[in-house]
């Protein structure tokens, strides 16, 4: 396939692969990891479907014949939407006003094993692993060049899904085979870390070099960035710090043909798959296209969930008014509450913050937002996030008035700079090197350069650079701030001023739906 046409091919391949995989791929009543498969197999169709699972949720466009049964296809099964839900809603960055089942559990930080979004997230990851296992089994005897490359890419995507299972759920079920007869065994978190480390290193040679493939194709830099992220968190996963390794792989990304876009906001606009500047930075996108590849996940969710009528035009008719910034996030740009301007758009907010990343909308003179959130269910309490749009940087119209073209940058080069900075300080390295890595991003944002840097300042910089991109939970857990009382933010633990939270919430529970069908599983402590 040609990846520059991936967007137009995804719906067709997803529909076609339904004939070979069958509806029982979504039969969670059997087991999320053990689907039935028929003897019919189309290598390219399954390969394309595996990429499509990052963006799409079923066989019929935005909705219809969903991959994951038992949860709402649009709200509880999209890969990137569930990452944003699980990794952003419970943190100091955002809060969601919706009262759908399971959503208030996140700001209250009292989820349990029956939480629907967490069940959907887990099931999505397990479904994707299963599809990858299916591909690997059916191509095991093939050694042609195309298949070798495809298998390496599929192994990476399987590793990516297992990474999220390791990070979020700790000790998930693990298998590399598809079976109807044997339930998968549970793997220890540290053992899964070792497996992923070996997998990512083994496949590197069979992947294309950075930026030599098509946009959206897994390349060597994907393995380097994921390894650097894993090493940065290795002490959480294994009990042993790997700071030097995090530095090594972050430097490999920084030294590659990837770089930084000149303009921050363009990374989240509708033509970020065409803009030569954004193509430099986005290493792995979650692809959508308003004409051909539609989903209630991906950037469609990121855009629609953060916008509502009255805001600066955002390029789509969809404005669901659900997710907005917590005061703690705005304070990363405006440490003094009185300096955060009310009744201004994102352009004025950026000017006031002296930071291009402060893309918040605080209302108009007649429809003013508030900095403080007194009612989590009221969307217009809290500054709106205007970072994500379906507007093109070149001023041209997008493909559709409803469905977005914007790709979500799951991996981008900027992460490597902040990984380098943090790992350098934690490893006792040069303050100068860490400072330069942080200031590289601050210069891009036209923010005042720092004269020195601490670990907490790097964490704050991570928030400014990556808010509502699905990284915050992991960062807070690594710092020991996600639970406990060491760092308390507005509405942490369900109280307005925030409160301490039990450490068992550093892991999500394995869903009861899987515990009930797999006797090999032990539940995480506290659930």
Q: For the residues of 35-103, what is the DSSP string, one character each? A: ----S---HHHHHHHHHHTTT--BSSTTSSSBSSTTS-HHHH--HHHHHHHHHHTTSSSEEE---STTS
pLDDT of 32 over the 80 cut: no
Task: Say what the pLDDT of residue 104 is.
Answer: 98
Tokens of 436: 């330069």
Give the pLDDT confidence of 388-430 residue by residue, as tens digits. Answer: 999 999 999 999 999 999 999 999 999 999 999 999 999 999 9
Is it the case that residue 274 has pLDDT exceeding 90?
Answer: yes
The percent of residues above 70 in pLDDT, for the chain, comes to 93
Per-residue pLDDT, 36: 45
Number of Cβ within 10 Å of residue 99's Cβ equals 10
Beta bridge partners, 35, equal: none
Is residue 381 over pLDDT 70?
yes
The answer, yes or no, to whether residue 4 has pLDDT greater than 90, is no
The predicted structure's pLDDT at residue 1: 28
Does residue 243 form part of some domain? no
Which CATH number is 89's domain given?
Answer: 1.25.40.390
Task: List % helix, strand, coil for the chain (3-state, nearest 5).
Answer: 45, 5, 45
In a domain, 322, yes or no: no
Each residue's pLDDT tens digit, 213-247: 999 999 999 999 999 999 999 999 999 999 999 99
pLDDT higher than 70, residue 3: no
pLDDT greater than 70 at residue 75: yes
Residue 64, pLDDT score: 87
For the CA atoms of 525, 193, 410, 161, the dihedral, rounded to the nearest 10 degrees, stands at: -70
Q: What is the DSSP string of 262-281?
A: S-GGGGGSTTTTT-HHHHHH
And the tokens for 216?
């959206």
Count of structural domains, the chain: 1
Q: Per the domain annotation, does 200 fall within a domain?
A: yes
Which range marks the domain in which residue 143 is found? 3-206+509-515
- 118 pLDDT exceeds 60? yes
Average of per-residue pLDDT values in the chain: 93
According to DSSP H, which parts of 345-407 are helical?
A: 346-353
Q: 18 in a domain, yes or no?
A: yes
Burial 232-266 (b: 16+ CB within 10 A, else e): bbbebbbeebbbebbbbbbbbbbebebebbeebbb
Per-residue pLDDT at 22: 34
In a domain, 215, yes or no: no
Distance (Å, rounded) from C-alpha 327 to C-alpha 411?
26
State the pTM of this model.
Answer: 0.94
Has residue 199 been placed in a domain? yes
Determine the pLDDT at residue 39: 59
Cα–Cα distance for residue pair 166/438, rounded to 1 Å: 28
Secondary structure (3-state) at 152? helix
Residues making up the chain, counted from first to last: 527
Q: Cβ distance 332 to 94 under 8 Å?
A: no
In a domain? residue 169: yes
Task: Please tell me the least confidently modeled range out of 1-10, 112-121, 158-167, 315-324.
Answer: 1-10
On whether residue 499 sits in a domain, the answer given is: no
DSSP state of 381: B
Q: Are 510 and 521 in contact (CB under 8 A)?
A: yes
Q: What is the mean pLDDT of residues 363-385?
A: 97
């Amino acid at each position: 396939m040609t990846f520059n046409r991936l967007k137009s091919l995804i719906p067709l391949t997803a529909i076609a692969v339904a004939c070979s995989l069958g509806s029982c791929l979504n039969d969670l009543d059997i087991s999320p990891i053990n689907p039935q498969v028929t003897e019919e197999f189309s290598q390219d169709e399954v390969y394309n479907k595996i990429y499509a699972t990052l963006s799409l949720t079923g066989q019929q466009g935005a909705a219809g014949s969903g991959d994951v049964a038992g949860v709402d296809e649009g709200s509880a099964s999209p890969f990137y939407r569930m990452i944003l839900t699980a990794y952003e809603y419970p943190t100091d960055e955002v809060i969601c006003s919706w009262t759908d089942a399971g959503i208030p559990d996140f700001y209250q930080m009292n989820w349990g094993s029956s939480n629907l979004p967490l069940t959907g997230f887990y099931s999505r990851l397990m479904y994707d692993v299963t599809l990858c296992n299916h591909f690997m089994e059916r191509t095991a005897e093939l050694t042609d060049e195309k298949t070798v490359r495809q298998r390496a890419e599929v192994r990476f995507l399987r590793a990516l899904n297992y990474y999220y299972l390791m990070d979020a759920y700790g000790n998930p079920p693990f298998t590399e085979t598809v079976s109807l007869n044997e339930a998968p065994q549970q793997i220890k978190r540290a053992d899964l870390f070792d497996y992923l480390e070996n997998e990512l290193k083994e496949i590197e040679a069979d992947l294309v070099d950075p930026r030599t493939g098509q946009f959206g194709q897994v390349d060597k830099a994907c393995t380097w960035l994921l390894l650097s992220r894993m090493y940065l968190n290795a002490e959480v996963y294994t009990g042993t710090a790997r700071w030097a390794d995090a530095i090594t792989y972050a430097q490999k990304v920084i030294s590659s043909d990837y770089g930084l876009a000149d303009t921050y906001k363009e990374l989240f606009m509708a033509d970020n798959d065409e803009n030569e500047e954004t193509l430099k930075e986005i290493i792995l996108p979650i692809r959508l296209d308003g004409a051909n590849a539609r989903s209630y996940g991906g950037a469609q969710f990121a855009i629609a969930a953060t916008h509502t009528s009255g805001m600066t035009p955002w390029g789509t008719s969809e404005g669901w008014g659900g997710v907005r910034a917590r005061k703690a996030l705005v304070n990363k740009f405006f440490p003094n509450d009185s300096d955060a301007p009310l009744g201004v758009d994102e352009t004025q907010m950026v000017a006031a913050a002296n930071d291009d990343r402060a893309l918040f909308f605080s209302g108009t003179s007649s429809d003013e937002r508030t900095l403080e959130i007194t009612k989590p269910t009221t969307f217009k309490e809290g500054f709106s996030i205007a970072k994500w749009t379906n507007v093109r940087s070149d001023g041209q119209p997008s493909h559709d008035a409803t469905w977005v073209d914007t790709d979500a940058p799951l991996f981008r080069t900027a992460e490597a700079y902040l990984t380098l900075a943090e790992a350098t300080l934690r490893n006792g390295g040069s303050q100068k090197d860490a400072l330069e890595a942080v200031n590289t991003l601050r210069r891009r944002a036209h923010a005042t350069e720092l004269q020195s840097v601490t670990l907490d300042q790097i964490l704050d910089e991570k928030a400014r650079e990556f808010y509502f991109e699905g990284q915050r939970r992991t960062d807070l857990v690594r710092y020991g701030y996600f639970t406990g009382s060491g760092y308390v933010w507005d509405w942490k633990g369900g109280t307005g001023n925030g409160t301490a939270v039990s450490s068992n919430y550093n892991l999500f529970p394995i869903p009861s739906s899987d515990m009930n069908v797999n006797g090999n599983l032990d539940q995480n402590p506290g659930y």
